[in-house]
Chain A
């Protein structure tokens, strides 16, 4: 219990600092860090833990964002109090879509999920483009935002906390063990009575749910979304955060999200002439990392596993 109180105090303190001493630009960056962290955790769950490649997380994010925005505006009276409801609905829709996408993807061994999700993201994009009610290519404007930063911040931290805790619980319990066993030797796992395809379908559904959650919040954070906000580049950005943090390391995803959100902002000047230089830097980083440090920063281990044993027992972290 004590550790949660300390955590809460820290979060509140950070919120107050951000709110009173820093400008809205830095506040916004902080929120995008949290969204990136949620998205990276979501991808890590399917790619890091379940060893299945998804290239369509931007599509799931878009689904969550548009669902949440539409529901809030059309059905919930455009009130900020109901933003969480919309976000949850967006996550559910993304989860359902993820389940449907997973149906054809795991019939055979191999990387079919990558291709199916890539196609799914493209279909989502095309549908939104042609849907004039949500603005089509012009984008969807005037989405309800939280009235002040602290509310937005609090909700963001809550979402990240929930995402992390759910994934952490699943990682350390039976489901995580099943996923890991499949990674190690799927034939042996099957002989133990485990349905491989079903397990992967669940993993992708969960991953999709949280991608939708991140997307839903994103819509209400910016107040404006367009099909362009969810292009392939976004999927790649999420991928690189996940890979940098370490496939399978949840805390790694959060740290990498921080690094890759704050650093590029500091390096904003490299973006010249309308061309996004990130799209050159990212792939080079990906390739180099795969060759030089394929496990990312933390491999599949969690940051706190490096803590001294004394602290681990004190904080109740399993060895």
Chain B
């Protein structure tokens, strides 16, 4: 029981990270119909943004303030990178075949991975301790760590803010409109390009948040850190039904929990294969994912 609880708590924290990242994939897919392969590198850049921020502004002493600054820094940095990637690499291809955009996305992703190795160095860097991890209290003999609580709290807060933006604000309404009928929205006075930029900014900010949270828990960062987690999160998005926001969150948690139980109960060597097995099963038996609907194409 105690062991199960421990795995569940871990799974929830892994899952909330997946959920944050899966949202980015699903939002971009919803609005542009493309897999943003560079999303995992935007995540990586978020971690490095905070890393250099804390280095230059000496945020080395752990405190709640430094944590907040680091979190905001990573978020903003990732958002800027996401914004630029979209503007410089994807926007010029808005009317090109989808294959070209996909190839570009791959190019951007590789450029960041290997450019990162040149600029930051290929070896892992230790991420600064922005906040001291403490064993706060125990729940049925399971220690509850401060970092885990922070992960839960920050992710849930971000999800809350996101759903407020998407479902309650003008921008959110415009985003949903553009993702259903991009041909009609300009007639309603919506600037599609602005909305697409917004989508990238929000998705990337979420990736930045995820990056800082993960880096605090596992304080080793390197330019390839996004590859595995990005893949798993994409699978989570497909699992939940790509294009569906709720699906991305639920898919993220389910995948995180599943993966953690798998490792916890001994099959850790198969961890990397797990998300792929899930992907293949989903594609075979319910290709639209849990909450996805086949968009009834207008014929």
Contact = CB atoms under 8 A, between A and B. Distances in A.
Interface of A: 47, 51, 53, 55, 103-105, 107-108, 110-112, 114-116, 118-120, 122-123, 126, 130, 187, 236, 239, 243, 247, 275-276, 279-280, 282-284, 286-287, 290-291, 294
B231 interface: yes
A287 B89 contact: yes
Contacts of B299: 187
A265 B30 CA distance: 43
Given A118-B231, A284-B107, A290-B107, A107 B89 contact: no
A290 B100 contact: yes
B272 interface: yes
16 contacts: A53-B99, A53-B102, A103-B284, A104-B283, A114-B35, A118-B231, A122-B276, A123-B273, A126-B273, A239-B106, A276-B114, A282-B110, A283-B107, A284-B107, A290-B107, A294-B97
B117 A126 contact: no
Interface string B97-113: 11111111011111101
B92 interface: yes
A247 B102 CA distance: 13
A290 B71 CA distance: 35
B294 A108 contact: yes
Nearest to A284: B111
A294 B92 CA distance: 11
Contact of B35 (A115, A239, A279, A283): A115
A291 B118 contact: no
Contacts of A294: 93, 96-97, 100
Nearest to A282: B110
A290 B96 contact: yes
Interface residues of B, number: 46
A45 B108 CA distance: 24
Contacts of A110: 33, 242
B184 interface: no
B158 interface: no
Given A236-B106, A290-B100, 5 more contacts: A51-B99, A108-B283, A279-B110, A290-B104, A291-B89
B280 interface: yes
Contacts of A187: 297, 299
B102 A287 contact: no
B103 A239 contact: yes
A115 B234 contact: yes
Interface of B: 33-35, 89, 92-93, 96-104, 106-111, 113-115, 117-118, 122, 231, 234-235, 238, 242, 269, 272-273, 275-276, 279-280, 283-284, 287-288, 294, 297, 299
A275 B123 CA distance: 12
B279 to A, nearest CB: 6
Counting chain B CB atoms within 10 Å of each CB, the highest count among A103, A114, A122, A290 belongs to A290
Contacts of B280: 104, 116, 119
Contact of A287 (B98, B107, B235): B107
A275 B117 contact: yes
Nearest to B276: A119
A112 B98 CA distance: 13
A104 B281 CA distance: 8
Nearest to A130: B269
A75 B93 CA distance: 51
A283 B103 contact: no
Contacts of B97: 51, 294
Contacts of A280: 111, 114-115, 118
Nearest to A127: B273
Contacts of B106: 55, 236, 239, 283, 286
Contact of B92 (A243, A275, A291): A291
Given A280-B111, A286-B104, A275 B231 contact: no
A115 B107 CA distance: 15
A111 B96 contact: no
A282 B111 CA distance: 8
Contact of A111 (B35, B109, B111, B118): B35
A111 to B, nearest CB: 5
Contacts of B279: 104, 115-116, 119
B108 A243 contact: no
